[in-house]
Amino acid sequence: MIERNHYLEILKRKKENGMIKVITGIRRCGKSYLLFEIYHGYLNSIGVENSQIIELALDDDLNIRYRNPLELGKHIRELVADNGKMHYVFLDEIQKVESIKNPYLPDSAEKITFVDTLLGLAKLKNVDLYVTGSNSKMLSSDILTEFRGRGDEIRIRPLAYSEFYASYEGVNGNKANAWRDYYTYGGMPALSDMRTHEDKQAYLFNLFNKIYLDDIIARNEIKNEKSVLDDLLDIISSSVGSLTNPPKLAKAFESLKKTKVSPLTIERYLDFFIDAFIVSKAMRYNVKGKKYIGSPQKYYFEDIGLRNARLNFRQTEETHLMENVIYNELLYRGFSVDVGIVEYNYKDGDGKSKRKNLEIDFVAGNGSERYYIQSALNVSEEKKRIQETRPLAATKDFYKKIVVVKDNIVPWHDEKGILYIGIETFLLEGFGD
């Protein structure tokens, strides 16, 4: 069993809190496993009987009937008929439940949705409700408003490196190649049972083409434009971590694909990828001005193995892959993550005052906590070290500043208090606090 203790602890804290626990994340990242295996096992361990745990997979054809919200509500109520015990209800892939016309108001345009069903079930005093979903639109601001403050999101991601490392067997238990395998194949849980490159490549490739893209096309009713979706994924895969925006991507289509695609279409398709949890968008943040800069942005993949599979593992430069992994790790730890911009004033060779903007790879915030983080393969040369740390020093504040390097080094601080730490130590042990 792959342990997901980070998420188990979240579920334990939220148990019986009166909220609808909505577990979201990219398909095949382990949402169902977390509920049906890990959390189910935990409930058993504290004395909850199996008869008190109701599990319904709505993407199973055996449960098609319950994609009708009224049938779903009726079915669950029958199963939890009050017997004095709490019931834990797990509804997997809730977005499969369709909206229907209200049969009691035939002349009305009113629709009944899964939200109505969940709100009704949440009122039952003997029900603790958990649902999963693979589409972020189910948690848009409109849907959250409809939940009337009763929705509680728990975002699940592919395996973080610490989870991957704990389950990594290697050859005869040797974990020396764990980092290499992680930045190559990523953290989709099913890969832990696969041993060959061919099997892993085929699995990741099929996830994209048979599940993710087909879902996006069906959900958004896209017709005759699958090639544009494919091409857009390839372009952002090749430029992961680079500043871009829809107009720039439209120019890339014209120069690389000899195709004209409008920036509005590209923006819409990028939103589809974000809704399906395939990519995330990192905004630029002016550290000193304390404001966001609208465009351009950076796009990172939810799982680095999926990104590599898009390119048939042809582009696996550690520089960009490290950056993507660090970004995902910070999100996993619960931080909001932006790309930092800081103004740098200096004098040129003629003594004239100059000003330019420097980039900090990541500004990670969580409440009063803030970290500035640079990703670099190495800083063994003094010139390279100065280049990487200049943006950090230019902030002129007292938040912790970190340079993450590829090599397995003993963490150390320079004269300005900047921490240098190896990527594996950072991913396994944290910020060195």
3-class DSSP string for 385-415: HHHHHHHHHHCCCCCEEEEEECCCCCCEECC
Per-residue pLDDT at 433:
64
273 touches 159 (CB < 8 A) = no
pLDDT of amino acid 247 = 95
Task: Report how far residue 161's alpha carbon sits from residue 167's, in angstroms, rounded to the nearest whole number.
Answer: 10
- 129 in the same domain as 79: yes
| CATH of residue 147 | 3.40.50.300
Residue 344 and residue 432 in one domain? yes
Whether 66 and 177 share a structural domain: no
- Same-domain status, 215 and 178: yes
Residues 212 and 281 in one domain: yes
Are residues 181 and 121 part of one domain? no
* Domain region containing 165: 160-433
Please state whether beta strands 419-422 and 412-413 pair in parallel, antiparallel, or not at all (unpaired).
Answer: antiparallel
Considering the domain architecture, whether residues 180 and 124 belong to the same structural domain is answered as: no
Looking at residue 194, the DSSP 8-state letter turns out to be -
pLDDT for res 136 = 62
In angstroms, the CA 286 to CA 343 distance is 8
Q: Are residues 27 and 95 in the same domain?
A: yes
**Could you tell me if 40 and 70 are in contact, meaning their C-beta atoms sit under 8 angstroms apart?**
no
Predicted structure pTM score: 0.93
Q: Which residues contact 185 (CB under 8 A, 6 or more apart)?
A: 191, 200, 204, 305, 308
Percent composition of the chain: helix, strand, coil (DSSP 3-state, to 5): 45, 25, 35
- The domain boundary, picked from 140, 155, 170, lies at 155
Residue 155 makes CB contacts below 8 A (sequence gap 6+) with 23, 24, 25
User: Residue 121 has what pLDDT?
Assistant: 96
What single-letter amino acid sits at 224?
A: N
Decide: residue 425, CB within 10 A, 0-12 exposed, 13-18 middle, 19+ buried. middle
Give yes or no: residues 117 and 172 share one domain. no
What's 190's DSSP letter? Answer: G
DSSP labels, 344-368: EEEE-TTS-EEEEEEEEEEEEEETT
What tens-digit pLDDT sequence spans the chain (433 residues)?
799 999 999 999 999 999 999 998 999 999 999 999 999 999 999 999 999 999 999 999 999 999 999 999 999 999 998 778 999 999 999 989 999 999 999 899 999 999 999 999 999 999 999 999 877 666 555 556 677 788 888 999 999 999 999 999 877 778 999 999 999 999 999 999 999 999 999 999 999 888 999 889 988 888 877 889 999 999 999 999 999 999 999 999 999 888 899 999 999 999 999 988 999 999 999 999 999 998 899 999 999 999 999 999 998 888 899 999 999 999 999 999 999 999 888 777 788 888 889 999 999 999 999 999 999 999 999 999 999 999 999 999 999 999 999 999 999 999 999 999 999 999 999 886 6
Q: In 10 A of CB 118, how many CB atoms?
A: 26
Which pLDDT score is estimated for 236?
A: 95
Residues in contact with 275: Cβ distance below 8 Å, sequence separation at least 6, in sequence order: 135, 136, 137
Q: How many residues does the chain have?
A: 433
CA angle 69, 48, 19 (to 5 degrees): 45
pLDDT for 140 equals 54
The b-or-e profile of 388-406 (16+ CB within 10 A means b, else e) is bbebbbbbeeeebbbbbbb
39 and 25, same domain (yes or no): yes
Give the integer Cα–Cα distance in Å for 231 and 432.
41
143 with 238, same domain: the answer is no
